[in-house]
Amino acid sequence: MEFKSEQKYLILSPRKIRPVVEVIKKMTPMKAIENLPFIKKRASEFLLKVIKSAVANANQKGVDAQSLIFKEIQIGEGPRLKRGQPVSRGRWHPIKKRMSHIRVVLTNQKVILATKKVSEVKEVKKTVKTVTKSSVKTVEKVKAVKVVKEKKGKDVTKS
């Protein structure tokens, strides 16, 4: 099961948020909540709020916070506020105040293990007819084919 939380229209550049995400994305959410207050970046405050919100969503559904992991952390670019700085001789230098969207998706470790693909090797018999000038020969060939089964029961064969 997935637990999502978003923060939109945050007036902070995505470029400033992404290094903080690189630090915490390998951690568990609980470990990230412990470490984020010690990262001396403004982005860590906003990330902390979004992660706490996602963990609270999971707790609301009755899931233990210790069993959660990050499925994805997205930092998207939002709209820009176009401002300007007046300069000499009546000119204008544009300033783009960039906005960000933060999206955090958490999932259970148990769900990840259950949805992993299980691969099995099955033997597939093929009948091959070879035609020569004098006779027709029928030969059965046994070939090992790797079959990947997903949770939904679909079979996908790979040679």
- pLDDT digits 0-9 by tens, 74-101: 999 999 999 999 999 999 999 999 999 9
Tell whether 69 and 142 lie within a shared domain.
no
CB neighbour list of residue 9: distance below 8 Å, 6 or more residues apart: 78, 79, 99, 101
**Is the pLDDT reported for residue 132 higher than 90?**
no
Closest CA to 28 of 86, 67, 61, 85: 67
Tell whether 48 and 63 lie within a shared domain.
yes
CB neighbour list of residue 77: distance below 8 Å, 6 or more residues apart: 14, 98, 99, 100, 101
Residue 35's pLDDT band, with cuts at 50, 70 and 90, is very high
User: How many angstroms separate the CA atoms of 5 and 59, rounded?
Assistant: 13
Tell whether 61 and 23 lie within a shared domain.
yes
User: In this structure, which amino acid lies at residue 143?
Assistant: K
**CATH number of the domain enclosing 14:** 3.90.470.10
What percent of the chain is modeled with pLDDT above 70? Answer: 69
Overall number of domains in the chain: 2
The mean of the pLDDT values for the chain is: 83
User: How many angstroms separate the CA atoms of 108 and 28, rounded?
Assistant: 11
User: In this structure, which amino acid lies at residue 17?
Assistant: I
Tell whether 60 and 42 lie within a shared domain.
yes
Residue 159's pLDDT band, with cuts at 50, 70 and 90, is very low
pTM more than 0.75: no
CB neighbour list of residue 71: distance below 8 Å, 6 or more residues apart: 2, 105, 106, 107
Tell whether 16 and 42 lie within a shared domain.
yes
Give residue 23's pLDDT. Answer: 95
Q: Which domain holds residue 58?
A: 2-115
Contact 121, 100 (CB under 8 A): no
SS3 59: helix
Least confident of 37-46, 65-74, 92-101, 134-143: 134-143
Give residue 109's pLDDT. Answer: 82
Tell whether 97 and 125 lie within a shared domain.
no
Tell whether 131 and 106 lie within a shared domain.
no
Residue 120's pLDDT band, with cuts at 50, 70 and 90, is low
Tell whether 109 and 134 lie within a shared domain.
no
Give residue 75's pLDDT. Answer: 96
Tell whether 55 and 93 lie within a shared domain.
yes
Tell whether 68 and 87 lie within a shared domain.
yes
Tell whether 62 and 24 lie within a shared domain.
yes
Tell whether 7 and 45 lie within a shared domain.
yes
